[in-house]
Structures are given as structure tokens and as C-alpha cells.
Structure 1
Amino acid sequence: MKSILLDIQQAQVFFKGKQAFQNLNFQWEEGQTWAIISESGWLQTAFLETIRGNTLIRKGKFQTHFAQAYVEEKSSQKEVHSFRDLIAYVSQKYEFRNKFNQQNFYFQQRFNSSESEETATVEQYLKEVEPKIQGAWTLQKVLDLLDLEKLRDESLLKLSNGETRRLALASGLMRQPSIFLMDHPTTGLDIQSRANFGKVLQSILDAGTQVLLTCNAQDVPEGVTHIAQLDYSGVSRIWKKDEFHQVEQHNLKKNWDWGLLQELVKDDKNESSESIIELKNVSISYQGKKILDQVNWSIEVGDKWQLKGANGSGKSTLISLIIGENPQSYSQDIWLFGRKRGTGESIWDVKRPTGFVAPELARFFPANQTCRKVILSGLFDTMGLFKKVSPEQESLAGKWMKLFELEEFADIPIQRLPLEQQRWTLLARALIKKPRLLILDEASQGLDESQRNLYKETVQKVCEFSGVTLIFVSHYPKDVPVAVDRVFQL
């Protein structure tokens, strides 16, 4: 008979002040590998945080049998301990810090090679992980498993979104966990890395680590043995993997007030006809490593492009040249909005016509920047609001918050917003100034299926209601709006 690792019975669970589950029942047996699906990403996170002991259980039972022997041993030795010592957790948030243990990076820093010294390398970072117990995972094993060997000496600041994700998984393994919890672990990974994830998962299981992860219904990886579906009552349904067929979306299709969106993005100004972007033989290197090699790209007014490429192929570097954040742009033949870079324009001249969204932007705002302030900061192209705004500007931000149902979050700092509201806040910030060029870099990353569909539809409507030029980056073909009809592959 297999032992029970974890048992939750008739639990009423509250997460961040809101009731998550009315009557949660869940039993995890040794040898079971679970995928937790739901139409709500918030519920998935609440479930993981319950297992981690970070929710309030008003009634019911929560028993961590997997840690019983460890807790008894540490108690007898009078050592400080917790069942959490045996758990590794990979969230969707970026949690790396610099060498001074402060998460005070600023967005442009990753493109200034001289400043990467403030940040640990991949190897240094992994060596600093201090497990509470001994285990089988060595530095070399995790580097090989997560395809990080070639990045061993790379600064954390230089990693792409997907590479950062793989590092987070490696860091979890270095904790030598008995239980490994993963919140949408394939988010941000390119197609090849997602295809390889099943092999990674199997290697983790073969080493004796028990795994539970959240994912979308269509992304259940190989190696999973059981699937549980969540709703606000608790676990609504359970399948064994061979009995599971993709769950239909039962939620009502949600839409915004498209009339209000049209009012907000419609631009009556006469557009000039010059090219939006001209890149001519652009080559970028960092410390002798070539990132971009002889790149040529021409973007005309109203074009809708998808920018594609594997993790680490240079997409972020290319975008940094376009949005004026990369100092190497001055040595390149780059034309933006009809003007060559380095001919006397200011950084604000470059930023003013461009709206930019990337999921990591949220972490670069100062701690006091609320949802409302972040949206308003888009009018000034600053990472936060630092000046008094007019009543008209306040009203405009109010309309965007109304459109994206952010009004109740207006005064909450962006870093404390739920991930879903973070994504809509950043989109509102990019659109509030009616940009001529909109760049969306994995902008809906981490949203659940219904929210990703809504995000795609919203971008589609923006394209229909305005003459905006679009660069759209996504590793998921189904996230690309139908308006996008051109592809640039790195």
C-alpha cells in the first residue's frame, strides 16, 4: 500500500483575504504526479500556496505526512524546522536578486554590459542555494538537465525570459526537495524547450522527487499520472492520465466594452508615410559573444509582425534597440520613425511614439507605484509616475481602468497585484498615449486560457480600431491575433 504524502479534508481556504475554496478535498499518494488545471489561474496559485502553508484554513484538515519523519527528527534535536524545508516551489514571478541581495534592477541594466557585475552568474547563483537536507542533485546534473551548461558564466541579467525560467527550475532542484511544486513551469519556454519538458520531468521523478504542477488543460506534460480540476468549491473532478481528454472551456466568453476601447485608441491624427523601422546590417555583441548578426528588417506604417525565435536568439536585444534602451544602437544603422539613431534625438523622442509591454516590466517599478500611477506613467514614458497630472489625464486613466475592470485595484502597488491584473495594467500603460508602434513581448504570459483568449481578442480589436503598427512576440501560435500577417524569424 502506497503511503499518503499529503491529505486535505473539507478545508475552507482563504487566499489573500478572499475565499478560494469552500470545501477542498485532496489526497496525494506516493508515486502520483499531479497536473492541476482550472479556468482560473488565481485558484491554481491558491492551491499551491495551500500546500505550502501560505493560506488561511478556517476549517477542515491539512496534514503533511511526507514531512512527519523530518519534523520528528528536527524536533528531537531542538532545531528550527518546517515542513517547507522539504518543498521546492517555482512560481511565475521573477525572484532573483543582485549580489547585495536587493531586487533593485532597472530595465535598461541588462543591456549595459558593465553593470552585469552587480549580478551573480548562473553558476554562482545555483551554488548559493542552501538545501535543508542532502540529496542527489549536483550543480553539474542540474546544468545538464536544464540545458544551462553554456550559460554557466552568464550574468542573471543577460538571461532571456525562457532561460530565466529554466534557471528557476534548476534552483528548485538544488534545494534537494522531497516535493517539487511548479506553477505553470513551461510558461515562457520556446517550442523546443516545451517539447523537452516531459524528459526533464521524468528525470526529476526518476530521482525520487514527487511533483505537482499547474498548467492549462491542453498543456499537460508527459510524466503526469493524475489530473485534478479546480473550481471555487474545491477539486471538482479527477482523472487518471489515460482517461483524460482535453477539458472544454465552460466559462462564459468574456468581452470588454469594445465601444469604449474604440473611443480610447482611435487616432484622428494624419499619419506620415515614412517607414516605422529600418534596421540595416545590425550586429550586436556582448563580451565577444555575438547576439545579432547582420540583421535587416523594414517595418512600414500599419504593418503587423510576429517576431519569432528560440529562447536566447536575440529577440529581447532586438526589441531593446527599437525602444531606445540599448546603448549599442548609436553605433548601428538604425532608423526609427524616419530618423537615424544618433542624429541628435533624445531618448524621449524615441520612446514617445512607442508602446511596449513585457511581463518582466512589472518588477522594475518602485514599490509605491500603484495600478493607477503605472497606467498614467505611460503618458510620460517613465517607470512610474513622478509628476502631477491634469484632471483630463486622471479621467483618461480612469477610463482604461474601467475598460479592463481594474478600478478596485487602482491604489494597489503593481507588484502586489494578481498576475492577471498586472498584465492588463501594463497594456493600459502602453496604450494610454495612443502609440504609433505597439510592441507586445510575451505580453499575455502566465494568463489562464480564457484570459489569453481575451488578450488576443483585445489586441485584435486595437488593430481594427486604430492604424497602429504591431510587433507581437509569442511562443504560442494560438495567442497570435489574426491581424498579424507577417513573420520575422531570428
Structure 2
Amino acid sequence: MPYSILSIQEATILFKAQLAFQNLNFTWDSGQNWALIGSSGWELTAFIESIRGNTLMSKGEISRPFADAYSAEKSQSKEIHSFRDMIAYVSQKYEFRNKSHQQNFYFQQRFNSSESEEAATVREYLNEVELKIAGPWTLDSVSNLLRLEHLQDKAIIKLSNGETRRLALGLGLMRQPKIYLMDQPMTGLDVKSRAEFGEVLKAIIAAGVHVLISTSANEIPEGITHIASLDKSGIQKIWTKAKYHRLGVQPESTASWNWEELDALLPKAMSKRQSIIKLENVTIKYGEKTILNQLNWEVKPGERWLLKGPNGSGKSTLLSLLIGENPQAYSQSFWLFDRKRGTGESIWDVKRPTGFVAPELSRYFSYNQTCRKVILSGLFDTMGLFRKVTTEHEELGLRWMKLFNLESLANLPISRLSLENQRWTLLARALIKQPELLILDEASQGMDEFQRRLFRDTVQQICELSSMTLVYVSHYAEDIPEAVGEVMELM
């Protein structure tokens, strides 16, 4: 007989000092596994954080019967405890710490084999999980389920984006949860991994775990039994998986920025270089493992390329060559901006003409780096602003903040911005110096569907309004702007 494991009744909820929900009602019964959908990623996150007890409830109540027996047992033995002991959570802002338990990795360490000693391996990280309750998950079972076996001895900082996501899911399982909450868990996974995610979910559920995920409306994985549509007024509609279907197609985004202002901020002159990128038989190895094998590729000025391939195919390694962060570039037949690497150029000669956005970049700015400082740091190709800037620089930064509606967030640390505003901040940082080459690596990751469409439209406008060369990485076909006309696929 089903029984209630969680209930929210007539709740008014504040999240990050903003009103998230009024009169929110939700009942979660045993045997149910939920997918939350909605137009606002912020609201989906606020709902999950409410279950975790990380929001302010000014009215109503929330009960968590799933933890009652555990709480009674621990109270009787006078042990410190919380209902959170029984919950695992994977957010979109997952962070990993070094062996000194400080989150102070810097971006370049991912590609320098001599500088990863401070990073734990996948095995060490999984084994460090502090257990509050007993459960079935072991290092072997988690590694087998999430295809982490071959990564056991790899430093976590060297994992690809998709591998990092699988490790984050594994860390949650090692906590032996009764409730597993996942905020957009398929983000960063390639097409194959997203298709396999339903089997992973079913295995987790079969082990006695109840699951609630946020996801897009057209990605409901196997194992989910119920779907709830959410907005600021609460749960709007509920379907069983059997009855769920999308009614029509999501409307195209009608929102836009001030395209005339974007036009004024972008470079116009076509590059006079012969090529922007040129690789001849480039091979990159780490130990005995070959990541890139005899790769040839040439990108001409003004071309727009899609770089695609499954997780672990070498996309991140290739991008590390393009942004000047891989020391193996010097031993290769490899040219950037018509200049062969290793012929006396400085790292700044590589970085100056290149704008780069990747979702993980936001993790590498220190806490005192505000939205304003992060944008202005793009003028100097540094991970933060560490010098005085001119009045002209300040005015330019303000124009970019106004363009992307970031002006009110100027003095907030980037770590406190919503995921979508982090992405716009990083895009402004990449564009502020008017680069010849713009590299966008899953740059809209973490945005809700509305914001992703706006991001795609923005990149399309950048291509139409400038002669900028583009390398675009995405696992989602719907995120690719029409201006992208060339494809480099890694296998």
C-alpha cells in the first residue's frame, strides 16, 4: 500500500531572498519517481532546495515522513542527525576539492600532467564519502553502473565534462540515499549517455531509492513514473508517465537583447590571416593513452564550426590546444593565427585573439570576483580582475552588463549568480575584447529551455553582425545556431 514520504502544503517559499512559490502543494508517495519540468530553471532548483530544507518557508508546512524512523532511532541514541543524512543531491554547480579540502584548482591544471598531484583520483574521491546510513552501494557497484571503472586512477581535475557529471552521480550513490534529488542530471551528457541514463535511473530505483529530477519537457527518462509542471504559483499539472505527452512544440523565444547595441560592440573587420587554426597530424597522449590521433583540421577566418563527439572523445583536449593551455602543443605541427606553436610566442599571443566560454570556468574565479570584475578580466585574459582599469574600460564593461541585463548584479560574486547569469557573464567576458576566434564549449549548459533559445539566438546574431570565427561545442542539436556550417567530429 503506498504511503507518503514527503508532503508540502500551502507553502509560501523564498529562495535566495526572492519569492519562489505561493501556495505550493506537493505530495510524494512511495513508489513514485518524479520528473519536474517548467520554463524557469531557477524555479526548478528552488523546488528541489525546498525539499532539502534550504529555502525559507514563511507560510505552510513541509513534512518528511521518509526520515521519521531514522530520526526516532538517532534521537533515542542521542546521536546528532538530520533528514539530510538520507538525501543525496546532485546540483548543476557540483564542485570538487583538492586533497587539502580546498576548492582552489585552477583551470590550466586539467591539461598539465605534472600539476595534478593535489587532485584526488576518482577512486580516492568515491572512497572519501562520509556514510551516515548503511546501504547497498559500493565502489565496484557504483563504478560499474556509471562506467567509472577505467577512470579509477584518473585525477578528478582531468575528467571531461561528461565524466565529471557521472562522478557527481556516483558520489551521491555512495551516500546510500533513500531520496535522490538531481537538478538537470543529463546536462553535459552526450547523446548516447543521455539515452543510457534511463537504465541507470532504473537500477538506482530498483535498489530502493526514490528519485526526483528536474529536466526538460522532452527528456523524460525511463524509470520516471510521474511528471509535474511547475511555475511560480506552484504545481500546474501532473501526469503519470503513461499519460504524459507534450502538447505541441515549445514556442520559439520571442525575447531578445538590444541587437543594435550588440552590433556596436562587436568587431567588424575580417581577419587577414590565412588560417585561424591549423593542425597537421596532431597526436596527444597521456601516458599510454592516446587522446587525439593524427588529427588534421584547418579553420579559415569567418568560418563557423561545430565540434562534436561523445564524452571522452578528446574535445576538451583539443580545445585546450586552441586556448593555449596544453603544454603538448609545442611538440606538434600546430598553428594558431598563422603562427606555429613553439616559435617564441607567449601564452598571451594565443589568448589575446581568443574568447572562450565553458560552464566550468565559473568555478575557477575566487569568491571576491564579482560579475563586473569577471567581465572586465576578459580584457586581460586573467581568471579575475587584479589591476586598476580605465574609465573607458569601466564604461565598456557597463555596456556589456546592460546588454545582458546584468547591471543590478554587478557587485555580486559570480558564485552567487544564477546559472544563466553566470553564462551571460562569461559570454560578456569572452566578447569584451572583440576576439577573432570565439570558442563556446557547452556554453548554455545549465540554462532552462527559454534561456537556451535566447543564447542560441544571441550566437546567431553574433555571427550575422560580425566576421568572428566560431568553434561551437554542444550535445544538443536544437542549441546549434543556423550560422554553423562546418562540422569536426571526434570519435
Normalising by structure 2, we get a TM-score of 0.98
Task: Provide the secondary structure at the position in 2 that maps to 1:177.
Answer: coil
Read off the aligned partner of 1:377 and give its amino acid letter.
S
> How many angstroms apart in 1 are the aligned matches of 2:347 and 2:366?
21
For 1:376-430, what per-residue CA distance to the aligned partner results, in whole angstroms no more than 9, with x for missing partners?
Answer: 1111111111111111111111111111000111000111111110000000000
Read off the aligned partner of 2:412 and give its amino acid letter.
I
Alignment of 1:70-469 (within 5 A): 70-246=70-246, 249=250, 253-267=254-268, 269=269, 271-469=271-469
Read off the aligned partner of 1:238 and give its amino acid letter.
I
More off after superposition, 142-151 vs 237-246: 237-246
> How many angstroms apart in 1 are the aligned matches of 2:66 and 2:464?
54
> How many angstroms apart in 2 are the aligned matches of 1:341 and 1:251?
43
Read off the aligned partner of 1:261 and give its amino acid letter.
L
Judging changes above 3 Å, is the alpha-carbon distance between structure 1 residues 270 and 448 closer, same or farther for their aligned structure 2 residues?
closer
State the match for 1:50 in structure 2.
50
> How many angstroms apart in 2 are the aligned matches of 1:266 and 1:154?
41
1:245 CA drift (Å) = 1.2
Judging changes above 3 Å, is the alpha-carbon distance between structure 1 residues 279 and 250 closer, same or farther for their aligned structure 2 residues?
closer
> How many angstroms apart in 1 are the aligned matches of 2:138 and 2:369?
40
Read off the aligned partner of 2:363 and give its amino acid letter.
R
Read off the aligned partner of 1:211 and give its amino acid letter.
V
Alpha-carbon contact 1:162-1:189 (below 8 Å) kept: yes
Alpha-carbon contact 1:39-1:249 (below 8 Å) kept: no
> How many angstroms apart in 2 are the aligned matches of 1:273 and 1:418?
38
Read off the aligned partner of 2:93 and give its amino acid letter.
K
Read off the aligned partner of 2:101 and give its amino acid letter.
N
1:68 CA drift (Å) = 0.3
State the match for 1:68 in structure 2.
68
Alpha-carbon contact 1:34-1:228 (below 8 Å) kept: yes
Alpha-carbon contact 1:88-1:172 (below 8 Å) kept: yes
Judging changes above 3 Å, is the alpha-carbon distance between structure 1 residues 472 and 252 closer, same or farther for their aligned structure 2 residues?
closer
Alpha-carbon contact 1:376-1:429 (below 8 Å) kept: yes
State the match for 1:9 in structure 2.
9
Read off the aligned partner of 1:82 and give its amino acid letter.
S
Alpha-carbon contact 1:14-1:56 (below 8 Å) kept: yes
Read off the aligned partner of 2:256 and give its amino acid letter.
N
Alpha-carbon contact 2:359-2:443 (below 8 Å) kept: yes
Read off the aligned partner of 1:29 and give its amino acid letter.
D
1:250 CA drift (Å) = 6.7
> How many angstroms apart in 2 are the aligned matches of 1:403 and 1:461?
13
Read off the aligned partner of 2:393 and give its amino acid letter.
Q
Read off the aligned partner of 1:264 and give its amino acid letter.
L
> How many angstroms apart in 2 are the aligned matches of 1:421 and 1:31?
36
Read off the aligned partner of 1:122 and give its amino acid letter.
V
> How many angstroms apart in 1 are the aligned matches of 2:244 and 2:260?
40
Alpha-carbon contact 2:266-2:462 (below 8 Å) kept: yes
Task: Provide the secondary structure at the position in 2 that maps to 1:117.
Answer: coil
> How many angstroms apart in 2 are the aligned matches of 1:304 and 1:250?
26
Task: Provide the secondary structure at the position in 2 that maps to 1:435.
Answer: coil
> How many angstroms apart in 1 are the aligned matches of 2:23 and 2:190?
37
Judging changes above 3 Å, is the alpha-carbon distance between structure 1 residues 158 and 252 closer, same or farther for their aligned structure 2 residues?
closer
> How many angstroms apart in 1 are the aligned matches of 2:273 and 2:205?
57
For 1:144-164, what per-residue CA distance to the aligned partner results, in whole angstroms no more than 9, with x for missing partners?
Answer: 000111111111011000000
Alpha-carbon contact 2:270-2:302 (below 8 Å) kept: no
> How many angstroms apart in 2 are the aligned matches of 1:138 and 1:325?
36
Task: Provide the secondary structure at the position in 2 that maps to 1:348.
Answer: helix
Matched, 1:478 2:478: yes
Task: Provide the secondary structure at the position in 2 that maps to 1:260.
Answer: helix
> How many angstroms apart in 1 are the aligned matches of 2:61 and 2:39?
25
> How many angstroms apart in 2 are the aligned matches of 1:229 and 1:445?
21
Q: Structure 2: give runs of 5+ residues left out of the alignment.
A: none
Task: Provide the secondary structure at the position in 1 that maps to 2:439.
Answer: strand
Normalising by structure 1, we get a TM-score of 0.98
1:116 CA drift (Å) = 1.6
Q: Structure 1: give runs of 5+ residues left out of the alignment.
A: none
Read off the aligned partner of 1:456 and give its amino acid letter.
R
1:244 CA drift (Å) = 1.1
1:270 CA drift (Å) = 5.3
> How many angstroms apart in 1 are the aligned matches of 2:122 and 2:115?
16
Alpha-carbon contact 1:358-1:441 (below 8 Å) kept: yes
For 1:13-35, what per-residue CA distance to the aligned partner results, in whole angstroms no more than 9, with x for missing partners?
Answer: 00000010011100000000100
> How many angstroms apart in 2 are the aligned matches of 1:143 and 1:448?
30
> How many angstroms apart in 2 are the aligned matches of 1:173 and 1:252?
37
Task: Provide the secondary structure at the position in 1 that maps to 2:135.
Answer: coil
> How many angstroms apart in 2 are the aligned matches of 1:242 and 1:202?
16
Number of residue pairs the alignment of both structures matches: 489
